[in-house]
Structure 1
Amino acid sequence: DMPTNAAGSYGDNVFMRMMMAKIYCVQLISTLGYDLLFQDVDVVWYKNPLDYFHNDKALDTNFDIYFQDDGNHNLYYAPYSANTGFYYVRANDRTRYLFSSLLMAGDLVRQTKSHQVPLVALLQEHASMFGLKIKIFSRDEDDFPGGHAYHRRRDFMKNMIQGNVQPQIFHMSWTHSKIDKVKFYQQMGEWFLQDTCRVKKPNEIFRHTNETVPVFSLCCAAEPNIVCHYRDKPSKVPCKESPPIDRGARSFW
């Protein structure tokens, strides 16, 4: 069964069950023979990335699978540092075998307390042995930025917020917790969820209203809920009166 509660900590039993669920859903679609885009929920679309991946003139289609750079270049993610929170897969025998192999590597998920480490290891093996072709979008490129850009590329983030750069998506990866991710998206002006619906189950949301009312009318705001939290992190508006999250850090604006 899928867990209904959040993980208490990284690597606990609930966390590992969710990591396996992320493997199951991709492997099933891959087996059916479809191209697929997998993403976590901490991704904002500025454009439709499927248009990008389906544009043979703009994209090198000589690859089987496309990943964001995780930003973390430690040895356990070598050599690809592929981020497993947003990736696109072309349907073919090589990718079907990759995800079937990942499904069979459930023991590695338990051992490493991650599905990213086993997948990166399998990428290396399948590239070498079976000719799997892997594309990693650099952490310094502008189309698919992630948490590394948010925390390390100040000039890029200012240009993105001001509309001078228009990426395909933004992925709030490389960030400590979902609590911080929500705060960062709130001050970036990318949070459209009403507070009354946060961390609520459907029966709790509909408790005091008619269940025939569309959930988006109850939970989705027409305008972003901009809240300043930290002056040293990217924000839609200056947050100079807020404290820094990193001691001694200067204001973003």
Structure 2
Amino acid sequence: MTVNGLLQQYSEWVLEDRLRHATMVFCGYAKDMLEPIEQLLTYSFREQERQTWLDAFQTLRTNVAKLDHVADYDDEKYVHLIKQLRQEGASLRILNHIQREHQRFLDVMTKELLAPLYEPLERLASLADFDFEELQAIEVIRRFSYKPIEIIDQFDYFSESLSGTSIKAATLAQLTLLIAQLIEQLAHFNVYELDVLHKELDGEYMVSIGAMPCSLAPDVARHHVCKVFERGFYIKETNDVLREAKVMTVM
């Protein structure tokens, strides 16, 4: 394989491994949120209702745990690739860059932090005759972001199930805030939530699953979104829609 071919392989691995690690960190962040939610439930319901919602919470915990599995990092493939690059005559600057970035990423993983996605690849492109834009980054992001999005769905389903109960509004607001913080973590995937509430229905990134009379949503204009049943997400850098938002509109 040529030097450029090896650099293409390296870049694909870097993107995948950093997104895989980001998924692991995201899952850990989601699990950390379970404890404060459990505490909210414990002190928010009367005794006769409390167990019902703690049982429902255990379902949430189980569903999050099912998604909390990320493949191990393969350190050896980078060692082998560096050897191949040497054999193919790659420059010392390129070899040093790859070795430094590899060590930095190992340090980041040890500390359970997040590593930048594109910066090391952009620096590599400046050192070599290599077109970073040729990477299928969108497909890689799409593949790795599905798990965090599914975890957010689980939290949303649980929160929605509480909305018709005797839980205090302030407590539900705290839960909503925790979910919002979880969504903010998607920024590391370059993924953001679609802003659709009170917007006019747009088939490009919304799917209407029903409509309600304007008398039930007097503050929302006709054909505009009055309720979001399932969040939609997009890749900010390219505006590619990862998933349409499922919404209800006003007739």
Report the TM range for the smaller structure's normalisation.
under 0.3
Q: Which has the higher helix share?
A: 2
Q: Which has the higher contact order (CA 8 A, sep 6+)?
A: 2
- TM-score, normalization by structure 2: 0.26
- TM-score, normalization by structure 1: 0.26
Which one has the largest radius of gyration? 2
